[in-house]
Structure 1
């Protein structure tokens, strides 16, 4: 400690001999000393105590204003070094999560150990989107996670994209930081990785800690304005599994938008049928055209009839409940279903035909038909 505070002692001796206050250069030297103490792991209390003991041991006591300024400079340098170290750690953490979600393998396992992750285990990802549509989001047929804003493959761009995402996540990223702090306080930094990506807040947790995604959703509900959505990916093993789970969570949100689903929390496991449908676009287009195209002939267009089918299916065939959802009478629902049967030849009362109709209606929503005519 004597070697570390040698410059501080010389400054105090000079002040005691001349009565002058430390100049800028001497105070800068004290700040540098404080920074070195922080880098060596010396506590700020031990640093200040050693500096005061040095002043007490001097044969001629230095002026109190001089001692106050040097000690203040020591503490300032110490705090600046700590803040810098925290920023570097945050940058490294953000860069690691970004590389993890993009599937970049550069020293991934080694870097994961630094953050307490064991990548051979299973992980699941929760993705939270603030209220409103995502700006510059991926196109419907592109896998989520293929881009970071408009910055692809550029680490400086990645960080810029993250900062833009912080703003999209609300109030300069403050909700994101608060959620991260709350999650780490409860589950530990080795169990939680949180980052902002493409304007969405991403939370990576072990597959064995599914309760953490519920806690994450709770904090999102508390911090984000109404209109937020959370997509939950399934548990998968290894670094590639993290990427897969992230894409599942992001795609669950996108599917919820395209299907007009009202639930704020969407589980990829509950939506597995939709990627299957989209995998064979030609087949789903043929189904929609064959089953529903005759609804284009209906007076007032197909919209009210499609809405009626969706409401009936969501109500498990209960026409009274469907009528309440639609804000019409039960008689109106019955009348519309009869029109659908006459126009399409399919009845939601028949189990086989009901499945065909429901699949066709889901396909229509996925393809945004009839707003976008099918080729």
Structure 2
């Protein structure tokens, strides 16, 4: 197949399967359900096992042609070197931490991370991996937290639910200076709105369930190696994987330990569903970002609303970072009511937003944060993360903007 040179984002993605050579001229990569993959010569099978073959499959726990096609698509999106698909975004996060860190290591991470990620930090501490949480909106805080045992820095492009944005470029410079692995969770922004390799991230995580899949129909996660980190400097690569080009060492270890050993494997059926959703990523992100901005501007003027958190509002504390790094503000919006006691009543009066957890569906989702997804964290952790009792989180969907505005107008009457 011939294509124009330097195709745009969506053009590149919708033709990804065809460029990859889908069988029998198929427009999309077929769903490969086989668990085992055979070879005419045992030497070829050995080459796949030992990682010296270019491509090839041996057992579906480490990937299939269908998951490989999705991985290639995400690699293109992130302008990376390679990608590994996982069963969920959390599986990808755990694979990064548990296969690349060991007892005695130190991790510096954002204090504003997703609740489940914060829970994993507790598990790491039990395993002897020290974690320091800092306010990453200032790179100086990251630099001050470093120790001789620090191996990795972890941030989210846009934090959930408080929408804090790190000093992405400044932290990248700190990691570069000290030879640290910089890991960015790009789930909320997506590869369309932000390219993490541009700030020096070595690994980029995406929950495929959310922005990339976009329809709430399949779970998945992905870890992309941007090629920006020198793996020959990383002390925790196992001897078995210190062979050949060092550029491949990180992903090799993640695939062997995260998929082969831990079994966090994405099914071919889910990979196919996620790849179909990925083709409309840019269209959905443009639409939901525009609607979210309009709703944020409207809410900010409403007398019942104390504060609105959306990166593209001039009132946002990291608005300058958002303008510098993001094409648009994404679908995540949070706001606080002046009367926290009205939080549940307002949610119940809304007719269009679905009262459900989850993010980046085609339908708008709403949830009271302190009562649900951050209830287990407790008031002290919530306070440190800027989560007020009256905070409501929205994942803005594809509904018409005027319909959502009308619904919020009636729900906030008398609040």
Relative to the length of structure 1, the TM-score reads 0.28
Relative to the length of structure 2, the TM-score reads 0.26
The structure richer in helix per residue is 1
Task: Select the structure with the greater relative contact order (CA < 8 A; seq sep ≥ 6).
Answer: 2
Decide which structure has the larger Cα Rg and report it: 1
The structure richer in strand per residue is 2
